[in-house]
A and B are shown apart, each in its own frame.
Chain A
């Protein structure tokens, strides 16, 4: 079963705008990760945030985690056409397993 659920399912924006994707999960976690998948390719790890962290930055990416609400958000600032991809959150619970959500399809229009 898939623990994470991303929202929205699809997002279309213009180049230069910011993109925000949200993720909710069901059980307590050790960490939460975000991955990107370009069409026809494998997933690429973007960022990992641990359960005791609230915010993390990496380049144009900002991730927040609210364990009380069991939710996380991924913000991509100043988006580019090359950011067009599907974005997945993946939660690691008390066991070792990483459980992926259904993903958000982001389209950045030039």
Chain B
């Protein structure tokens, strides 16, 4: 089975610019997650979708981050405007449902100058 696809793999922007990340989950997976992983730390959940509805976005900085899941399949995560502290790897994961193990993409490494 094809894995979770993410693009781009790397992105360098200046602070106050905007950026968007794309994720295509494994086919048939109802649950989709976006995580932020700062260097040397474990992933931190930003937002969780069940089909195309948001289940949890309690740790998403909503003044600058937004996410959507189109038709319950692909998802995009946007940052506008970016701050220096947003430098991190953004990981997308999917699972059959919220109780099942999660499958991760290889992430987008974001550097803010």
Is B one of A's binding partners? yes
Which residues of A pack against B, CB within 8 Å? 2, 4, 33, 40-45, 48, 88, 90, 96-103
Complex contact B104–A44 (CB within 8 A): yes
Contacts of B106 on A, CB cut-off 8 Å?
Answer: 40-42
Q: Which of B42, B99, B104 has the most C-beta atoms of chain A within 10 angstroms of its own C-beta?
A: B42
Contacts of A43 on B, CB cut-off 8 Å?
Answer: 43, 91, 93, 102, 104
Which residues of B20-35 are within 8 A (CB) of A? Answer: none
Chain B binding surface SS class: loop
Which residues of B pack against A, CB within 8 Å? 4, 40-45, 48, 55-56, 91, 93, 98-99, 101-107
Q: Closest chain B residue to A45 by CB distance? A: B101
Closest 7 CB pairs of A and B: A42-B104, A100-B42, A45-B101, A43-B104, A96-B98, A42-B106, A100-B43
Complex contact A33–B101 (CB within 8 A): yes
